[in-house]
Amino acid sequence: MKQDKNFYILAIVLGVLAILLSTCLGALAGGLVGYWAGRRAATAVIPLPLPEEKQPTPIVPQKPQPTPPESLPWKPVVNGALITRVVDDSPADEAGIKPGDVIIAVDGKRVTEENALDQIIRGYRPGDKVEITLWRGARERSLKVKLGSRPEDPGIPYLGVYYIPFISVQRPGGD
């Protein structure tokens, strides 16, 4: 009985090995036949007629023409100074002004195109305390700031911010 069991185990192992060996040999033979057929097909070149050459039509680029401001349905208006950077340890930094704030007034003087932030600040002296009105998010805030003196020229007042004009649009009729 024990010999019959060993015989069956040996037969199963040999059967599995035979299946694995035949699978590997079949894969190898299939790969070689595929390679040979591909090489033969690649050497047979079929000439194709060339397409007729056409002369390309030149495209002349059109420059965009600016729209004159008078013809626009709205008018750009400078309504403040958008803070892009606050200098570390500057009066603005100490007062809590942050990049993204929009300064709209200094001591009640509105920041406009004709009345820029740097021009308003130059109307004061170093050490003067001013009230800065700004927008942060959707809220208007007021901050007290003691102006410093410009590092390269101590006689000029210094807030310590970099900004760009904040432009909004206004429809005709003030809407």
pLDDT in tens, 59-93: 556 666 555 555 556 666 668 899 999 999 999 99
pLDDT at 146 over 90: yes
- So what's the pLDDT on residue 24? 87
Tell me the C-alpha distance between 150 and 156, whole Å: 6
Domain positions in the chain: 1-44, 69-170
69-170 topology per CATH? Pdz3 Domain (2.30.42)
Global pTM reads 0.55
> Which residue, 105, 90, 154, is CA-closest to 125?
154
Nearby residues of 90 by Cβ (< 8 Å), 6 or more positions away: 148, 158, 159, 160, 161
pLDDT band at 6 (very low <50, low <70, confident <90, very high): confident
User: What is the dihedral sign for C-alpha 24, 26, 32, 35?
Assistant: negative
